Amino acid sequence: MTVQVIAEAEIMREVAQILLQHLNPTKVARFWASWHAGQGNYLDWRDREFADETLAHLYEEILAFQQQPAQTTSD
């Protein structure tokens, strides 16, 4: 029997995608900040996470998110 170990970076990327699908970006950022308080290097993460992104694509994603109906959540 073999066990495949997934790299931590891949797990973190998947978790980030799931969070962003279910929470607004502000809540994700606050969660991430509290989770990683004093750990890691944000600039390295940002560069890896957005390496293939363009400003135009990110702008399109922001516009699409803003056009979604407001979600009512209890904070």
Assign 3-class secondary structure to the chain: CCCCCCCHHHHHHHHHHHHHHHCCHHHHHHHHHHHCCCCCCHHHHHHHHCCCCCHHHHHHHHHHHHHCCCCCCCC
Proportion of the chain above pLDDT 70, given as a percent: 84
How confident is the model at residue 30, as a pLDDT? Answer: 84
pTM tops 0.85, yes or no: no
**Burial class of residue 16 in the structure, from the number of CB atoms within 10 Å of its CB (0-12 exposed, 13-18 middle, 19+ buried):** middle
pLDDT at 16 over 80: yes
What are 67's two structure tokens?
């056009």
